[in-house]
Copies of this chain bind each other. A is one copy, B any other.
Amino acid sequence: MKVIIIGGGAGGLSTASNIRKYDAKAKITVITRDKHVAYSPCAIPYVLSGDVKNFNDIIMHQPEEYLDRNITVLTEAEVLEVEKEQNKIKYILMNDKKRHERELEYDRLVIATGGAPFIPPVKGANLKGVFTIHTIDDGFKIKKWANKSQTAVVVGAGLIGLETAYGLKKMGLEVVVGELVSQIVPRLLDPDMARLVQNYLEKEGIRVILGNSIEQVMGTHKVEGVQIGNEIIKADLVIMATGIRPETHLAEYIGCELGKWAIKVNEKMETSIPGIYAVGDCVEVTDAITGHPTQSPLGSTAVRQAKIAAKNIAGQFAQAKPVLNATVAKIGELEFGAVGLTKTVAIYNGIFVISGKKRALTKARYYPGAKRIDVKMVCNLQGRIIGCQIVAEERVAERVDTMALAIAKKVTCNELVNMEFSYAPPVSMVIDPIILAAENACEKLKEIGE
């Protein structure tokens, strides 16, 4: 069987590797416009911050290395045409000055084209010194430019924006983050929990401006400042971290059905055209709580989808599940994450909810180094947990995972308070903060019931 995978990110390459796992003989070709494959785009901010030494460290494989598994990776190659009646694609190698058209046949095609940064349509957005942060090349360029800069404005207070802001701050720049809505990370956290993260950023010396849109980028030859709301902020460097749009042009052109957000796929990760699959940031997923279509632009989601697509392509059967968007981030010493719906998003979706909250510690209170931990649990009026947010200086990720499992298994707060959690003074409290937040949620539910 011949498989062509368009896109060399987490979704594309994981699909390739997984197909090889289930089918020793398949002829697998990955074709990508990028020069580098198999790197971790989420790690770019950590190279800026200096936590990871250099960009080469985050490239995990060279294209040639895939040949060991008999996977061909064509880099700097552009797909011109998919002839779906003939099951073949036409492409050119971008270094080929004659633009010689090449062909490749497939039995199965996988679209893993990812997303592309969205840049708000403002004056000056194309000035030198204005960057998006999406590929490793962006990272190289930003670092180089930042080395000769004193001031930076990051537009957008999503995870990538904040991580990048912190990285630039660590490089020694004065950093301002501007965000359109009135809180940071609005998709991830409710305002009260987001405030904890904002406090940390401000303590680290990053200024945050909320509730104002970017009006223009100022400068003549290169960027000199940014107008956010009525304020003009000096900037030698601007990062547009204003979101990623699914890259669906090719799929649309081929005739794959699009949904509200991106490419529609069934549970097998197959598009509306039989034999053509799609995975990663370019596809639409189903929200496990609302049942509505949504996006899940996470490396972990792409890798999970890749496994499902690969199994189905290899003739086995696997079903993608609705997503909860279990997410974690670490900025400096602060770890925070969430899974399921925030209270805000739940209400927006017409779901009546209560929330339980608890501030506690990550270790026994007498144990040196215990850190503050804040947990917020969102439950529907039947007590079913539908979301959880956690902010602390350690041990957040695995608690998010525990809650992802709890939500997936439809656990109620009443059930959770009786669940077993492990305990040892250097690593936990005798009653876990998650349990304490669930107890608080139970009390709230009881008050409503009375």
Residues in chain A within 8 A of chain B (CB atoms): 10, 40, 42-43, 46, 51-53, 57-58, 60, 298-301, 303-304, 307-308, 318, 321, 323-330, 335, 337, 339, 364-368, 395-402, 404-406, 408-409, 411, 417-428, 430-432, 434
Contact = CB atoms under 8 A, between A and B. Distances in A.
Nearest to A431: B303
Given A60-B366, A397-B427, A398-B399, A300 B404 contact: no
A417 B421 CA distance: 22
Contacts of A42: 423-425
A364 B426 CA distance: 24
A428 B43 contact: no
A397 B40 contact: no
Given A299-B430, A366-B52, A367-B46, A404 B425 contact: no
A51 B426 contact: yes
A148 B361 CA distance: 36
Contacts of A409: 405, 409, 411
Contacts of A304: 418, 420
Given A402-B398, A418-B321, A425 B366 contact: no
B40 A425 contact: yes
Contact of A402 (B53, B401, B424): B401
A423 to B, nearest CB: 4
16 contacts: A40-B366, A43-B366, A303-B431, A308-B418, A324-B420, A326-B422, A327-B422, A328-B423, A330-B424, A337-B422, A401-B420, A401-B432, A402-B402, A404-B421, A405-B406, A409-B409
A401 B422 contact: yes
A409 B405 CA distance: 9
A431 B298 CA distance: 12
A419 B397 CA distance: 14
A411 B406 CA distance: 11
Interface centre among A10, A324, A425 (most CB of B within 10 A): A425
A247 B438 CA distance: 33
A365 B402 CA distance: 23
Contacts of A431: 300, 303
Contact of A404 (B330, B422, B424, B427): B422
Nearest to A327: B422
Nearest to A163: B424
Contact of A422 (B52, B307, B339, B406): B339
Contact of A43 (B299, B308, B364): B364
Given A366-B43, A367-B51, A402-B405, A397 B420 contact: no
Given A301-B420, A335-B427, A401-B434, 7 more contacts: A42-B425, A52-B367, A303-B431, A326-B420, A326-B421, A397-B424, A401-B432
Nearest to A338: B422
A364 B46 CA distance: 12
A40 B366 CA distance: 10
A321 B417 CA distance: 11
Nearest to A53: B368
A424 B159 CA distance: 11
A367 B46 CA distance: 9
A418 B337 CA distance: 20
Given A328-B427, A367-B46, A424-B328, A419 B404 contact: yes
